[in-house]
Amino acid sequence: MSKREGEERVRSEKKVKISKKEEIAIDSELLGQQSSYVNSNKEGASGQDSSIAEAAVAAVSNDSEQKQAEQQHQQQAQQSQQQSLSYHQAYQQQQDAQQSQNPFRPTTLPPVTSSNSKPQHGTDEWHRQRRENHKEVERRRRESINLGIKELASLIPTNDTNKSQILQRAVEYIKRLKENENNNIEKWTLEKLLTEQAVSELSASNEKLKQELERAYREIEHLKSEKKKRYDHTGSLSDFDVDEEGFDWKDYFESINEEITIEMIEEDKLNYQNSQEEKHDIISNFIYYDGDFLKLFELIPHLEFTELEEQRVYKIIEEELPKLIVETPILKSWEKYTKSRKTKVKQMLKRLAKEAKEAKELEAIINSNRNKKTKGGSGGDLKAIIKSRQANRLDNLISSLESKYGGEKRGKKRKDIDDEEFDRIQNELFKKRK
């Protein structure tokens, strides 16, 4: 039973109640009139009694008639609702049959013929029915679209399952057909269209491979020319030539794939210094080498001994060492360096300055020897330089031993020894060490 039928039933019940109240009021009025007429005129009492009885009979008959009318109205409403439902079912079956025969035929909802089943405009039932109708229309529309796309996919031989790709291929095919019809050319088939697309894709791929092949040939020619230059310059076909005379690091780094430049080294230095990786390397190496602080400047990358760098590394260890559990020798070594820190720094700076000076002198000698054509001359000069430095070290060692064990201090420089004497003394020292 719909909401409208319920409202009509409530209104009919209200009407019955009102009619009953009116009948009771009429009966009471008639009884009052009867009592007054009995006192005034006893002869008209029989006539009044008959009129009251007739009024009561009429009221009862009216009540029964209204009940019968209400029942008839309810029966008619139920019949109309059943008819509307059967009509909707029959119409739905008919539409489903038509849809299976022709999926592209648009569908609409069946018209409402019965005025009793139509809800009142603006009510909740009206809005609900409207939403259901909209959902049904949308569902059928989507089914129609999906059936149409499936039909296109069956007509067009393609492996695509994407609806947009199927529609795009169909549009391209139709455009080609229209162009061919305008030019009075035989209609193209989809296989021909797909073949042309495949040919265009293969052509593009072939062009790309051709460009890569040309680039590979250019690289091969470049490598050949570089190898020829290396052979003309060094007399060797190897990628990098290492011999007893020395190693050209510049040629070596140029021979690898990626050239290492000064900018790359500086960039790596900026990224490494003051990072967690550097901090971890400093602490781990400090512990591994039993607290040898100066050893860190030989191990840590990009770390050169200067006053600022020494202060920075010292601060890192000073902050992190209390947080760690280390052995006693490490702590003793750290305390020893802390006490003599100023002296150690001065000695280290002095030694580095001396080594830098010696390196410049050696570089100047090596550069001058490179200009010579014979290898023997450059090798002899280098050997002489090494022997000279070793002789100076030996002379300093002898002087320190003499001063330590009571020898007199020398007032003048020791006379230089020849090569044979130097070799003899060096061999004796090596025998003592063994």
Q: Which residues pair with 242 in a beta bridge?
A: 247
Are 6 and 81 in contact by the 8 Å Cβ rule? The answer is no
Q: Would you say the C-alpha torsion 362, 367, 368, 374 has a positive or negative sign?
A: positive
Radius of gyration of the chain (CA): 58
* Block residue for tokens 């300093």: 396
- Residue 155: per-residue pLDDT: 76
Tens digits of pLDDT across the chain (434 residues)? 456 666 777 777 766 666 666 666 555 555 555 444 444 444 444 444 455 455 555 555 666 666 777 777 777 777 777 776 776 777 777 777 776 665 555 545 445 444 456 777 778 888 888 888 888 999 898 888 888 888 877 777 667 778 788 888 888 877 777 776 666 555 556 667 777 777 888 888 888 888 888 888 888 887 777 777 666 665 555 554 454 455 565 566 566 555 567 888 888 888 988 899 999 999 999 889 888 998 888 888 888 888 899 999 999 999 988 888 888 888 898 999 999 999 989 998 898 888 888 888 888 887 777 766 445 554 555 566 666 666 666 566 566 555 555 544 444 445 555 666 666 666 665 555 44
For residue 135, give Cα distances in angstroms to 110, 129, 132, 212: 14, 10, 5, 57
**How many structural domains compose the chain?**
2
- Domain boundary residue, one of 105, 139, 173: 139
What are the φ and ψ backbone dihedral angles of 229, each rounded to 5 degrees?
-60, -40
For residue 319, give Cα distances in angstroms to 22, 270, 303, 316, 324: 107, 22, 19, 5, 10
In a domain, 144, yes or no: no
Burial of residue 214 (CB within 10 Å: 0-12, 13-18, 19+) is exposed
* Block residue for tokens 């290396």: 230
Q: Which residues pair with 243 in a beta bridge?
A: 246
In a domain, 119, yes or no: yes
Q: What angle do CA 236, 238, 239 make, to 5 degrees?
A: 125
In a domain, 145, yes or no: no
In a domain, 213, yes or no: no
- Residue 415: per-residue pLDDT: 53
**Pairing verdict, β 246-247 and 242-243:** antiparallel
3 state DSSP class of 248: coil
- Residue 412: per-residue pLDDT: 46
Within 8 A by CB and 6+ apart from 267, the residues are none
In a domain, 125, yes or no: yes
In a domain, 260, yes or no: no
Q: Would you say the C-alpha torsion 250, 252, 255, 260 has a positive or negative sign?
A: negative
3 state DSSP class of 246: strand
* Block residue for tokens 């320190």: 400
CA dihedral 7→10→14→20, nearest 10 degrees, is: 140
Range of the structural domain that residue 117 is part of: 3-139
Within 8 A by CB and 6+ apart from 324, the residues are 283, 287
C-alpha closest to that of 333 among 397, 370, 286: 286
For residue 104, give Cα distances in angstroms to 93, 99, 139, 156: 17, 8, 14, 18
In a domain, 56, yes or no: yes
Within 8 A by CB and 6+ apart from 116, the residues are 4, 5, 76, 77, 80, 81, 84
Determine how many CB atoms are found less than 10 A away from the CB of residue 129: 15
Distance, in Å, from the CA atom of 76 to the CA atom of 73, rounded to the nearest integer, reads 5
C-alpha closest to that of 313 among 274, 351, 276: 274
In a domain, 44, yes or no: yes
* Block residue for tokens 């299976």: 100
- Domain boundary residue, one of 139, 171, 186: 139
- Domain boundary residue, one of 85, 106, 139: 139
How far is residue 160 CA from its own chain's centroid? 27
- Residue 316: per-residue pLDDT: 92
